[in-house]
Amino acid sequence: MTQEKAKQFISAWKTELISSVVILACLLLIIFFPTQDISQKFSLNLFFFFLLPILYIKLILKKDLRNFGFNLQNTKIGIIWAIGMFFVSALIIFILIHFFDFENKYLLPAYLAQNFGIFLLYELILVNILLFIQEFFFKGFILFLFSEKFGFAVAIIQALIFTFFLLFTNDLTWKLAPLIILSFTGGVVTYKSRSFLYSYLMSLFFLIILDTYIIYLFK
């Protein structure tokens, strides 16, 4: 590559290159920053996956958050794709249950299975907030940063990044399977609707239904 071509490449990809450094820094800090409990983990996620990207979008890129999927535009498209990908996700889970004994490997804490009130609080507060934060970072921030350059492939790219992140920060268990599935199906919803909110709502509903079903099986 000649010096002139190198300059042209850097000029054309300047935003993406700088943004990649920001994304990598956020991921590495989340992965390697020591945490003692769930509150510290939540604080790290909130800062590096939500607040810092918002500041970067507003102050450095000087763009509207709606350009990063923080909107409910394209309602009909969003609902159609969310419903479609919900059933695709459910089909994959059905295959896992039917062929891989998934229901016996997808372990929930005993106190959730024994107390439906605590289960609802767990799903609607902890799972809900962490899911929203991560949906914004991966399907909002990352997906829309690179969608112009990579097209539909960005839906797969962000899902792969999320999957590797999960594997670095968690033990390899069946508990991760629904999140990995939703990272791909939700990425499609986000790309098609131009909003990560439809993916977020689909994923939250899917996780609540799945956890409720697993608890029901063992009652």
d(CA 194, CA 69) in angstroms, rounded, equals 6
Would you kindly state where each structural domain of the chain is located, as residue ranges?
Answer: 3-217
pLDDT tier at 205, thresholds 50, 70, 90? very high
Structure confidence at residue 38 as a pLDDT band (50, 70, 90):
confident
Q: Which residues contact 44 (CB under 8 A, 6 or more apart)?
A: 29, 30, 33, 35
- Residue 128, pLDDT > 80, answer yes
Predicted pLDDT of residue 69: 96
The answer to which of 42-56, 132-146, 188-202, 205-219 has the lowest mean pLDDT is: 205-219
Rounded mean pLDDT, 79-92: 98
Q: What is the pLDDT of residue 35?
A: 79
Gap between the Cα atoms of 206 and 83, Å rounded:
10
Q: How confident is the model at residue 152 (pLDDT cuts 50, 70, 90)?
A: very high
- In the predicted model, is pLDDT for residue 9 greater than 90? no
pLDDT score recorded for residue 110: 61
Whether the full predicted model's pTM is greater than 0.85, yes or no, is yes
| Rounded-to-integer distance, Cα 211 and Cα 208, Å | 5
Contact (CB, 8 A) for 14 and 101? no
Of the candidate ranges 33-37, 46-50, 86-90, the one whose mean pLDDT is the lowest: 33-37
For the cut 70, the answer to whether the pLDDT of residue 170 exceeds it is yes
Q: Round the CA-based radius of gyration of the chain to a whole number and report it.
A: 19
Residue 113, pLDDT above cutoff 70:
no
- Give the model's pLDDT for residue 111: 59
